[in-house]
Amino acid sequence: MLTEDEVRHVAKLARIDLADTDVKRFSKQLSDVLDYMDILSDVDTDDVDMTNQVTGLKNAMRKDEVTNSKSTRDELLDCSELPKDSKQIRVLPAIK
């Protein structure tokens, strides 16, 4: 069960603006989904390891060389709608 206050809290952690009507709707829908997850408590996993990677690869290493030539700095900067300044993107002040 996810209360409306918990929905607001999680939305805040995820940096998502939610309207009050959304909070109500999501509280019900997310509760349904999370309640369903309880099915996993039927499974005994005491001596089971977690799986994070399925093909057994570990630590894919490469030489520390710059090889990315797929796009230029200017092309990447052009992806932003915000103003550019000294080859950086200008954002609003983080601290007022």
Partner 1 sequence: MADLNKLTISEAKNGLRAKEFSSVELTKDCFSEIKKSNKDLNAFVLLTEDEALKSAEEVDKKLDSGEKLPDLAGIPVGVKDIFNTKGVRTTCCSPILKDFVPPYDAAVIEKLRSNGMVMVGKTNMDEFACGASTEHSCFGVTKNPYDLERVAGGSSGGSAAALASDMCLYSLGTDTGGSIRQPAGFCGVYGMKVTYGRVSRSGVTALASSWDTIGSFTKSPEDAATVLQATAGKDDFDSTTPNVEVPDYTSFLKKGVKGLKIGLPKEYFGEGIEKETADVVREQVKLLEKAGAHVEEISLPMTKYAVAVYYITMPAELSANLERFDGVRYGKKPLKDPEDLVDYYFKARGEGFGDEIKRRIMIGTYVLSAGYYDAYYKKAQKVRTLIIEDFNKAFEKVDVLIGPVSPFPSFKVGALVDDPLAMYMADALTIPASSAGVPSLACPAGMSKNGLPIGLQIIAPQFEEGRCLQVASLIA
Using CB under 8 A as the criterion, which residues of the chain lie in contact with partner 1 when the complex forms? 2, 6-7, 10-11, 13-18, 22, 26, 29-30, 32-34, 36-37, 39-43, 45, 48-55, 57, 60, 62, 67, 70-72, 75-76, 78-82, 89, 91-94, 96
Nearer CB in complex with partner 1: 40/85:
40
Is residue 37 within 8 A of residue 67, CB to CB? The reply is no
Instruction: Work out how close the CB of 90 gets to partner 1 at its nearest, in angstroms, rounded to a whole number.
Output: 10
Three-class HEC string of 14-52: CCCCCCHHHHHHHHHHHHHHHHHHHHHHHCCCCCCCCCC
